[in-house]
Structure formats: C-alpha cells, structure tokens
Structure 1
C-alpha cells in the first residue's frame, strides 16, 4: 500500500503558477491542474497534469508514483516536452524528489498545507550550472 504522504496527494488540485524563464518556457504565469488517483490495488498513484495559458494547453504530463519496500518514493514522469526519462525522481517524501538526466538535476517539491492547499516547486541545475534555479512555483486549491 502507498504511504499517507502519497495518498494525501490524491484528488484534484488547481491554481495559479509562476514560471521562470528556462530552456523550456519563456516564463510568465499559467493555470495548472493536477489529478491523482490510486491504482493497481492501491500500490500506485497515477498523476495527470495540464497547464494552460490564455485558454490553450501548453503542457500536459502523466506521472506514476510508487513506493519501494523501504517506502522510498519513485515518481516516473512523462510530459509533452517529449524527453524520455532515464529513470524516476526519488525521495523520502513528495516534498523531496530529485532526479538527474543528461540535461541536469531537477528538484521537485509537493507540500500539502492544511489539507486544502498544494504548494509545488520545481528547481533545476542544468548540466553546466553550479547552482539550482527556480523553474516553477504554484499554489493549488483542492477542487
């Protein structure tokens, strides 16, 4: 079964996003929607995401969350940018996920506040960079 840190993400979350300029986006604001549902007899959490700007979908994604035997989390992520992930992001909680690819290292956080707000951040350290830079910060309300 999934740990409560993952089952707490189940449901639909929607809200405003602030995007920093990056190789994948010019930056600005967007509206995001995450929907996560338990699957595989409660051993996985399926995660679907849509980002919209000016009424048009600009990014969509699909993730699969699993827990190893020691409850270390694995988050497999696929999105419309089209990069094939070499493996999942890993971490002890959804608030501490990290993965490294040939493009660099990504840190993603999913923090639930008062069971009503999801605070999500993404930062990357590109392969030639010394430090992490913000890519996205968002606050979503449970729908």
Structure 2
C-alpha cells in the first residue's frame, strides 16, 4: 500500500524541515537551509537500512518507490516557496551553502555508486549481441 511510503516520506520531511530550520538558525539565515535535501537523503538511507534488515515488505516497497518518483516534483514545489532573496542578500552564506551542497551531493553520489559495486556491467560486445537478439551483425 502506498500509505506506508507516505508515512516514511512524512517522517523524513518533518526531520528534514526541522534540521533545515536549525541549520538556518545556526548559520544566521532567516530561512530553511537544505531541509528538503536532508529529507530526500534521509528517505534514501532509511529505505536502504530497512531493505538490509529485511523490514521492507512488498507494500512498503511499492509505497516508497511511488513516493520516491513523486519526490522530485515535491522538492521543486517546496524549493519554489523558499525565500531566495533573503538567501542571496546574506552574501557569503549563499555562496557557502551552494559550495557545501555541491560537495555533500558529490560525496553522497560517490558513496551510493560504490554501494552496488558488485554488479558488473555488460561488455560492449555482449550488449550489442543481446540488443540484436542474439544475431551477429556484420
């Protein structure tokens, strides 16, 4: 059922918004700093954690997959509501937040790409052979 995914999404969103507000207070910005991104990363890590421990039932998996696909439009809508003028007027803080977010995203993507490193990619000739339906192309 999709409701299980909604529960995880709601939990991650609440934690992300609170963490983003706290970061905003810490950095002296009157805005949420990265709360939506924190929520998205938290959703990914909770899904991986549940999957490793066998806690991810089929219903929960379907809900998480559905809401994972819906999360990008939600992120765009929530980010559109943020006070961009306030962030830019703080000058050095906007630049710091941009650089820090790029570094964190790069590190998370690198870590996630190494997560499933054991699955080899098909070689180019195997891919072409399978793509042509097993027929040789001359």
Interval containing the TM-score (normalised by the shorter chain): under 0.3
Rg: which structure is higher?
Answer: 2
Which one has a larger percent helix, Structure 1 or Structure 2?
A: 2
Q: TM-score, normalised by structure 2?
A: 0.19
The one of the two structures with greater contact order (alpha-carbon pairs below 8 A, sep at least 6) is 2
Q: TM-score, normalised by structure 1?
A: 0.19
